[in-house]
Amino acid sequence: MGVKLPHLKKALPVLAVGAFMIMLVAKPDYFLDSASRGLLLFASSVLPTVFPFFFCSTLLTAMGAASSLSRMGAKPVRAMFNAPPSGAYVLALSLLGGYPVGAATVADLYAKGIVNETDAKRIASFTSTSGPIFVLGTVGSAIFGDPAVGALILAAHYAAAVTTGLVFRGRKKSADISPVFLAGCDTDSALSNSISSSTLAMLAVGGYVVVGNMLIDALSLSGLNALITRIPDANAAHTLNALLAGAVEMTRGTILSSEIPFSPLAVACACAVVSFGGLSVMLQSYTFLSRCKMSFTALAARKCVQCTAAFIYAFIFSLIFFTNL
């Protein structure tokens, strides 16, 4: 008698975690070094760039300053995404701050009663983006050695976010309750609450960065990467390795993408990895979006659509503009 599918779904995560724990016990020094590198990555790159945006977005929401941005973008987000005006506010913060500022802001608006569950999920569909600092600076200049590549990836990445918002816009009209923003609390209280909530949020983000780095190293230890490198076609081998790493952690995936021999494929793969965000970014976002009753499956579906659209856009853009890169 076969194992029933529901039981199998519950058993697989348990088995995966159990296998990971066995690897931790078998190779303690290896994973201690891995965790240290993940912590260093968080402290040197993620914390300095993300925390200021976390703090500012929380403070702005607490002080009721989101109203003006929401009114300015009310018509575009309504027409394109069937979303309430506050979607424009979240989108602006996501475009500036990157992962997972958009998800954190959506959760904050939901907690304050500014958006309902349906609209929170709708807004989350088009406000899950990486920041321009990472894409232009890290991916374009540092990894690919060309800022123009970063600009192309950023354009395709944003276009994919818009496409995802269109796909998940839904038919039911938005509740349109977001213009009724809180009047704002006193500055001292807003400042104190923003600091504490942002600090706690960053601790969760840091934990996922460390675990994500350890999971990638666990994959390397399993020998799967070595097996992939035996594939005769260099483009296929490098692409599989990049996508595998990018499915877990975004930065490592983009580095491996840059090693793909066929340049348009390398750029498209890097854009897909950035748009998917990896398991690490998805879990960071889910930490906040689960408060809006969004399931991890729903979040993964949105990120898969965004990832696929990003790959297509970046590949086409590369074929058109690559002679200028």
Q: What is the tens place of the pLDDT at every residue in 171-208?
A: 776 655 544 444 445 566 777 777 887 788 788 778 88
User: What single-letter DSSP state applies at residue 64?
Assistant: T
Predicted TM-score (pTM) of the model is 0.81
Nearest to 160 by CA among 4, 266, 302: 302
Tokens of 299: 């979040």
Domain boundaries defined on the chain = 12-177+184-324
The CA-atom distances, in angstroms, between 17 and each of 14, 21, 25, 69 are 5, 6, 13, 43
Q: Which tokens is 150 given?
A: 């970063």
Alpha carbon distance 291, 117 (integer Å): 9
Q: What is the pLDDT of residue 237?
A: 87
**How many residues are listed for the chain in this entry?**
325
Tens of pLDDT, residue by residue over 18-49, are: 887 888 888 889 889 988 988 887 888 778 87
Give Rg (Cα) of the chain.
20
> From the centroid of its chain, how far is CA 3?
34
Residue 140 is given by DSSP the state I
Omega within 30 of 0 (cis) for the link into 100:
yes
Q: Which two tokens stand for residue 40?
A: 């260093």
